[in-house]
Amino acid sequence: MKQETSTSNYTDKAVDLSMYNNEWYRKQIGASRFKQICWYLVNATLFFHPIFAFSGFKVFLLRKFGAQIGKQVVIKPSVNIKYPWKLIIGDHCWIGENVWIDNLAEVKIGSHVCVSQGAYLLTGNHDFRALHFDLVVKPILLEDGVWIGAKAIVAPGVNAASHAVLTAGSTATRNLLAHTVYQGNPAMPLRERNLSEKP
């Protein structure tokens, strides 16, 4: 028997992207248009470019554009950062190749955090229930000792508690508990993270 698709819950309303308006957010960017343009050029030529590998100079530039960066932070080539003035990184952190920090809202990274290759920290989204596809932004917090695996995604509003692990290719849509390994899409707790000095 062929199953019929019900349309009883649908209405005659449709998404209208021509009415999209994020003017409210433009007032919260926190930087002048000139500063935004300057950062866009620096990001495109020195951060996102794979040849430029001088981590110390990148940290220097981030601080000049308003980021709060701790000591001995390593930033690999091809890292893409939306707004440095909305970025806080603690001490002894590693930001891997092709990481995208899309920080429309604040991204705060604690100390001894590893964000591996191709990971995506996403602070912006859209309300799929809204006719005009309204922009929604929420901050991300990665507490001390967190490890975000290669090509993993951290969704807006997620708090990864101390020493949580998000495995490669996984997607965190909710908060991650401390000392817990998460895997999958959406990420689910897999096991405890038991740290040891032994190899």
Instruction: Report the C-alpha gap between 54 and 35 in whole angstroms.
Output: 22
Beta strands 74-75; 180-184: pairing state = unpaired
DSSP one-letter string for 4-17: PPP-TT--S----G
DSSP one-letter string for 67-84: -EE-SS-EE-TT-EES-G
- Mean pLDDT over 135-149 rounds to 97
Q: Give the residue from 192, 193, 155 showing the smallest Cα distance to 172.
A: 155
State which H helix or E strand residue 42 sits in: helix 33-42
Tokens of 151: 């090509």
**Could you give the percent of the chain with pLDDT greater than 90?**
73
Write down the domain spans for the chain.
Answer: 21-187
The amino acid that residue 72 corresponds to is Q
Is the pLDDT confidence value at 169 over 90?
yes
Instruction: Identify whether 186 is preceded by a cis peptide bond (ω within 30 of 0).
Output: yes
pLDDT tens sequence across 126-140: 988 888 899 999 999
Provide the pLDDT confidence category of residue 50 given band limits of 50, 70 and 90.
confident
Give the dihedral of Cα atoms 22, 156, 45, 57; nearest 10 deg: 130
Predicted local confidence at residue 3, as pLDDT: 55
Instruction: Report the C-alpha gap between 73 and 70 in whole angstroms.
Output: 7
Provide the pLDDT confidence category of residue 156 given band limits of 50, 70 and 90.
very high
Provide the pLDDT confidence category of residue 60 given band limits of 50, 70 and 90.
very high
Instruction: Report the C-alpha gap between 25 and 29 in whole angstroms.
Output: 7
Provide the pLDDT confidence category of residue 13 given band limits of 50, 70 and 90.
confident
Is 109 within 8 Å of 84 (Cβ atoms)?
no
Q: Is the pTM of this model over 0.85?
A: yes
Predicted local confidence at residue 5, as pLDDT: 53
Question: Which of 101 and 8 is assigned the larger pLDDT?
Answer: 101
Task: Report the CATH number of the 21-187 domain.
Answer: 2.160.10.10
